[in-house]
Amino acid sequence: MYTEDDLLPLSALQHLLFCERQCALIHIEQVWQENLFTAQGGILHERVDRGEI
């Protein structure tokens, strides 16, 4: 069977399809830099998760 470490996050597939380098930076090198757009996206996702939209 597979361990949790063997699994690929679904977000990694989205990043891979968008940009292979972005996928590597985020999921292999663990490099992430928050910016205006990612911060706004995070806030919107939290609102949706709480059922506010």
Please give the pLDDT value at position 1. Answer: 85
Report how many domains make up the chain.
1
What is the residue range of 44's domain? 4-49
Question: CA-CA-CA-CA torsion for 28, 34, 37, 40, nearest 10 degrees?
Answer: 110
2: three-class secondary structure by DSSP: coil
Contact between 25 and 19 under an 8 Å Cβ cutoff? The reply is: no
Q: Residue 6 — very low, low, confident or very high, per pLDDT cuts 50/70/90?
A: confident
31: three-class secondary structure by DSSP: coil
Please give the pLDDT value at position 39. Answer: 94
pTM: 0.57
The rounded distance, in Å, linking the Cα atoms of 13 and 2 is 18
Please give the pLDDT value at position 8. Answer: 85
The predicted-structure confidence for 13-53, as pLDDT tens digits, reads as follows 999 999 999 999 998 999 988 999 999 999 999 999 999 87
